[in-house]
Amino acid sequence: MTEDRTLLRRRDLLRGATLGGGGLILGGCDALNENAAFRSALRGAEKLNQMTHRALADRAALAPEYALSDISPVFKTNGSLTGTSTDYLAHLANNFADWRLRVDGMVGNPIDIGLEALRAMPARTQITRHDCVEGWSAIAQWQGTPLRLLLQKAQLSPRAKYIVFHCADNYGARPYYESIDLIDAFHPQTILAWAMNGETLPVKYGAPVRLRVERQLGYKHAKYVMRIEATDDLSKFHGGKGGYWEDVGDYEYYAGI
């Protein structure tokens, strides 16, 4: 199969998997397929067989979304309940007025964006279920900026393979961090959430922004995100396995649900 035909078939599959979702989602899917970095990530797997096609279509599918009436009256917290860095604590005291999110690493146009500008970008609102590996779940409404929009703005390099989230908290003695591949980074439900259940994101849930990556377990949903870094090599970060719990607890890198 030629490369072009392979791409076309993958595109059809990705589209097919989300057709039920309506225009916004198709838009996201198109954007995903037009992105050079994402296409290059797919091209990396040269010998795609039927199974891989199915796996890709599955990765592009949406997580279930719920009704307002399904929202959990109590949403548990887990891990850190605040950022701990000096920098973060100063921003917290100042209500994040001068806080800036950085998007850098393997990008052509590094970004430095404040909370107001982030909130002014096109946003997505979704009511989803959070599943923690420790055995609890809770449903909440999340509103935030689709990660793919920031990556496009930053001109993600076609050589990038992963997106790393640097957090403002130490959990125990180590900094919390997480990372995801480009399939999840460009997934329409992957957002940097700055509101929860219609209110500004509370500190214990990750203010000012936390990742929602709805097809994966709770520990991938980085809270207190300060910096987003594109890379082709996870081994150079902390323990080298791509995330805090992957390094410390031997948790799976891809925590699919």
Ligand X SMILES: Nc1nc2c(c(=O)[nH]1)N[C@H]1C(S)=C(S)[C@@H](COP(=O)(O)O)O[C@H]1N2
**Residue numbers of the site for Mo ion (CB under 5 A)?**
78, 132, 218-219
80 binds, among ligand X, Mo ion, none (CB under 5 to 8 A by kind): ligand X
By beta-carbon proximity to ligand X, the closer residue of 155 and 200 is: 200
Record the tokens describing residue 5, joined without a space: 């035909």
By beta-carbon proximity to Mo ion, the closer residue of 77 and 84 is: 77
Least spacing, CB of residue 18 vs ligand X, in Å? 26
The answer to whether the CB of 53 falls within 8 A of the CB of 5 is no
Residues that bind ligand X (CB under 6 A): 75-80, 132, 167, 169, 171, 176, 205-206, 218-219, 221-224
Residue 164, burial from CB neighbour count under 10 angstroms (0-12, 13-18, 19+): buried
54 binds, among Mo ion, ligand X, none (CB under 5 to 8 A by kind): none
Cβ neighbours of residue 98 closer than 8 Å, sequence gap 6 or more: 91, 114
Least spacing, CB of residue 161 vs ligand X, in Å? 22
Residues in the chain: 257
Least spacing, CB of residue 169 vs ligand X, in Å? 5
With tokens 């920031």, the residue in question is: 150
Least spacing, CB of residue 89 vs ligand X, in Å? 14
224 binds, among ligand X, Mo ion, none (CB under 5 to 8 A by kind): ligand X
Is the preceding omega at residue 110 within 30 degrees of 0, hence cis? no
By beta-carbon proximity to Mo ion, the closer residue of 55 and 133 is: 133
Torsion of CA 79, 82, 87, 90, to 10 degrees: -170
